[in-house]
Structure 1
Amino acid sequence: MAIRNWRQNKLAVVEDEDEACDVEEESLLQVAKNNVTEDFGSDVSLKGTDSLLVVDEMDEEDITEEPSVMDTTLDESIFKAYDIRGIVGKSLTEDAVYAIGMALGSEARAQGETKIVVARDGRNSGPALLARLSDGLRAAGVDVISIGMVPTPVLYFAAQTIGSGSGVMVTGSHNPPDYNGLKMVIAGTTLASEQIQDLLQRIKEKRFESGKGRVREQDVIPQYIKRITGDVMLLKKLKVVIDCGNGAAGAVAPQLMNELGCDVVELFCEVDGNFPNHHPDPSRPENLQDLIAAVKEQQADIGLAFDGDGDRIGVVTNEGTIIWPDRTMMLYAMDILSRNPGAEIIYDVKCSRNLAKVIREHGGVATMWKTGHSFIKRKLKESGAQLAGEMSGHIFFKERWYGFDDGMYS
């Protein structure tokens, strides 16, 4: 298959009501922070030929003189079922993110973890929130590997390959510009439901570890691209229109497709946290109209659209037709079952019953599960299934990949 057979993969996404949030009609709150993590002063040293930034020590005052963690009043509404999410500067503040960082670091240490990979998407509030997250993690005694501005799947990849399975992504996903949030993985488990509520309880009870964690920066995009190009081979050169909606996928997807040998037409691939062209949510047909027009105009083979953090994908055919994700899941399932007879395939409750029929007809085990990327990932890990997918456009490959949702790999 080419990118799991790009010529056949015809996928589109619909709105995931469980992930959707109530959008308040308020103006964008710009976070007036410099795009700097912190002033390391004389404690900074560059080590190794790759010149990764390493902080050997934190000043004592950097840890102890943080009254905000004790005094912060948290808006509990930000602790959602799948992630942490809110309006920046209102429900989601920098002090809240610092406290959450301390709670995450403390929980990681309780599970024997000593380092966490962190990253952010392209939202304007990302640099300041990532800095406070890193501060909180380090104050809890956890070492931080910062990989900068990347799509969420790259963070998951880094957590698996250069970390110990732990990572935190600062992302607002497909939500409006004034939103941001956190997607969290500790020791290979995506936090959801009770684990997220446990973080809130830990903050309320001030059950924090303390320490002097270090931080270093690393670029993992080349490694991510190399891993995919080493796994995927195109059957023929394809002309592909890519609409990144000015989201973080623009930092990776065009380069990835070029290195796979595609003729790439870029549409809104410049990362811009204001999302000036259209909302980065490919589940809404109105957000795919520019892509459809470009595919027809360019006479492309296929059009791909990504959400704000690149973990969901929308696809249109060469004729500009939007195809539902459960139809694409049928193609994926048939391909995987041809190599893995009897494999289990997981799908969410919103998918068509025809998907289960196709899975069974090809010798697979069809398992319906509740909607939510965190729930699906957990079930995938527990069951040993080879593939999972949602009608929202999250696709999870376990065969030859890592089991996380990745719009670019899909």
Structure 2
Amino acid sequence: MKHTFDPTVLREYDIRGIIGETLGPDDARAIGRSFGTLLIRASGEGPASPTIAVGYDGRVSSPMLEHALVEGLTASGCNVRRIGMGATPMLYYAEASSEEVHGGIQITGSHNPPNYNGFKMVFQGRPFFGADIQELGKLAAAGDWTDGAGEVETVQIMDEYVDRMLEGLSGIDVEALSGIKVGWDAGNGAAGPALEALAAKLPGEHHLLFTDVDGHFPNHHPDPTVEANLADLRALVAEKKLDFGVAFDGDGDRIGAIDGEGRVIWGDQLLMIYAEDVLKTHKGATVIADVKASRALFDNVAAHGGKPLMWKTGHSLIKSKMKETGSPLAGEMSGHVFFADTYYGFDDALYAGIRLLAASARLGKSVTELKSAMPDMLNTPEMRFQVDEARKFPAIAEVTERLTTDPGPQVEEVNATDGVRVNTKDGWWLLRASNTQDVLVARAESDSEDGLERLIAQIDEQLSLSGLERGESVGH
């Protein structure tokens, strides 16, 4: 048997499609066959039947895909450890915490609309992305699969996972946290049940929203980087006079937060708080953030004795860079935060919520005080506009070429780590191609309105020199 995937489904960081249109059970089965085959062939002297942990999120289509995926994995000769419905980081935990597990697959549509679903994968302890994902497609197209009859076991790991996350508070006087009041919004996503179990064991007072898992997301869309989705949490924090609020995306690997005054604490600002805390015990450590992050973050890391490192956007790319550099902390504007200081280095929004409690206690300041101490930067939201797939990377190459050969008087530095990020006396601007959509992404930051206007004008000038314009902003 051979299998051909819809060309839109095998993406840079994960596999994603629309149920009944581009993704279905046959695809899930083929993913299982191909992933299992790769793992068996990579095992070498290892076990004849490697074990793969499988979990799924709260989407309506997830149980169906899980059933087919498990069939494919066992048919390739792999054993499967089913952990059931839960957040993506719970699957990462199942893979990272056991030497008996050699890979992991979470079925999740993340923050996409309800009719989407997909797969996030870990392979022998490392992120599985890019060329790895394309290899699945090649094996399936050729029908080049191993054959076997793997065994299936079902395990309950939520309690163990919750207890492991609570270690994020170790060394903190519980009394110091007894008066804290926090709001949490699970957004009807897969993190709900673990959040309920966690909040029951946390010191302080905790108010929970939308912990019932519902793949239709009846209250609001579970993407905490969109400010409109934080309205319910903001109302809760105001009504109950809470210290701060935390929100999650649909599969619990991205965090959003607001302080006690209802101000959004963006991904790079959260990283400023975490960095100040982590650098107390990891002096001189490298802290990684993606190219969309504020200059204030990189300055802040340096001011606290750390080595700031700007890297490419994409949770798989950041995780790989952390392993390479030995970094204890990394994060992205999108709300992925990775702790490797006393944790496993994967993105876990529930654990990041606990570490916000811990940082506030250890730094002796409320989250509102920590937010207030941050410099007031004016920045654009992420501006995303449609550009033809075949044009997006060449356009960025043209802009980079122009700015490196003839930067002009206003350009101080050009960084081509991921797209092009340009520093000027007004601040900085960024233009990059999305790895997952036919869009270009632009962002700019300054400390004045005039400066911000000049930066945006430079973006528009470079686009027009490449025959493009910044159209209507499109979503993720």
TM-score (norm: length of structure 1): 0.81
- Equivalence for 2:177: 236
Query: Could you report, residue by residue, the CA deviation over 1:111-143 in whole angstroms, capped at 9, with x for unpaired residues?
Result: 216010000000000101001000000000000
Displacement of 1:342: 1.4
> Aligned pair 1:101/2:20, yes or no?
no
2:8 aligns with one of 72, 77, 100: 77
Give the SS at the match of 1:96.
Answer: helix
**1:221 partner letter:** M
Structure 1 runs of 4+ with >4 Å offset: none
Q: 1-side partners of 2:42 and 2:2: how far apart? A: 27
> Aligned pair 1:185/2:88, yes or no?
no
Displacement of 1:375: 0.8
**1:301 partner letter:** D
Query: Could you report, residue by residue, the CA deviation over 1:9-49 in whole angstroms, capped at 9, with x for unpaired residues?
Result: xxxxxxxxxxxxxxxxxxxxxxxxxxxxxxxxxxxxxxxxx
**1:147 partner letter:** I
Is 1:330–1:358's contact at 8 Å kept on the other side of the alignment?
yes
- Equivalence for 1:344: 286
2:252 aligns with one of 294, 300, 310: 310
2:86 aligns with one of 150, 160, 167: 150
Q: 2-side partners of 1:300 and 1:146: how far apart? A: 38
Query: Could you report, residue by residue, the CA deviation over 1:191-241 in whole angstroms, capped at 9, with x for unpaired residues?
Result: 111111111111112211110000000011110111122341453122221
Q: 2-side partners of 1:324 and 1:168: how far apart? A: 29
1:161 aligns with one of 97, 109, 125: 97
Residue identity (%)? 45
- Equivalence for 1:139: 75
Displacement of 1:255: 1.8
Q: Which runs of 5+ in 1 are unaligned?
A: 1-69
Q: 1-side partners of 2:238 and 2:102: how far apart? A: 42
1:403 aligns with one of 320, 336, 345: 345
Q: 2-side partners of 1:164 and 1:381: how far apart? A: 19
- Equivalence for 2:222: 280
Q: 2-side partners of 1:73 and 1:197: how far apart? A: 12
- Equivalence for 2:148: 211
1:120 aligns with one of 53, 56, 70: 56
Is 1:247–1:269's contact at 8 Å kept on the other side of the alignment?
yes
| 1:213-228 superposed matches below 5 A | 213-228=150-165
Q: 1-side partners of 2:152 and 2:84: how far apart? A: 12
1:91 aligns with one of 8, 22, 28: 22
Is 1:84–1:181's contact at 8 Å kept on the other side of the alignment?
yes
Q: 1-side partners of 2:164 and 2:3: how far apart? A: 42
**1:79 partner letter:** L
Q: 1-side partners of 2:126 and 2:168: how far apart? A: 25
Q: How many residues are treated as equivalent by the alignment?
A: 341
Deviates more, 1:279-288 or 1:259-268: 259-268
Give the SS at the match of 1:366.
Answer: strand
**1:306 partner letter:** F
**1:173 partner letter:** S
Is 1:254–1:264's contact at 8 Å kept on the other side of the alignment?
no
Q: 2-side partners of 1:371 and 1:146: how far apart? A: 31
Is 2:13–2:130's contact at 8 Å kept on the other side of the alignment?
yes
Q: 2-side partners of 1:165 and 1:136: how far apart? A: 16
Give the SS at the match of 2:211.
Answer: coil
**2:151 partner letter:** R
> Aligned pair 1:171/2:108, yes or no?
yes
**1:278 partner letter:** H
Is 2:2–2:140's contact at 8 Å kept on the other side of the alignment?
no
RMSD, aligned CA = 1.2
Answer 1 or 2: higher relative contact order, Cα 8 Å, separation at least 6: 1
Displacement of 1:331: 1.7
Displacement of 1:75: 0.2
**2:62 partner letter:** G
Displacement of 1:320: 1.1
Q: 1-side partners of 2:131 and 2:231: how far apart? A: 39
Q: 1-side partners of 2:208 and 2:265: how far apart? A: 21
Is 1:242–1:254's contact at 8 Å kept on the other side of the alignment?
no
- Equivalence for 2:242: 300
Q: 1-side partners of 2:4 and 2:339: how far apart? A: 40
Q: 1-side partners of 2:261 and 2:307: how far apart? A: 33
Give the SS at the match of 1:409.
Answer: helix
Q: 2-side partners of 1:287 and 1:373: how far apart? A: 22
Displacement of 1:379: 1.0
Q: 2-side partners of 1:316 and 1:254: how far apart? A: 20
Give the SS at the match of 1:328.
Answer: helix
Is 2:189–2:251's contact at 8 Å kept on the other side of the alignment?
yes
- Equivalence for 1:19: none
Q: Which runs of 5+ in 2 are unaligned?
A: 353-476
Q: 2-side partners of 1:226 and 1:73: how far apart? A: 42
Displacement of 1:190: 0.9
Larger radius of gyration: 2
Deviates more, 1:77-86 or 1:159-168: 159-168
TM-score (norm: length of structure 2): 0.70
1:356 aligns with one of 267, 292, 298: 298
Give the SS at the match of 2:65.
Answer: helix
Displacement of 1:321: 1.1
Is 2:75–2:148's contact at 8 Å kept on the other side of the alignment?
yes
- Equivalence for 2:314: 372
* Structure with greater helix percent: 2
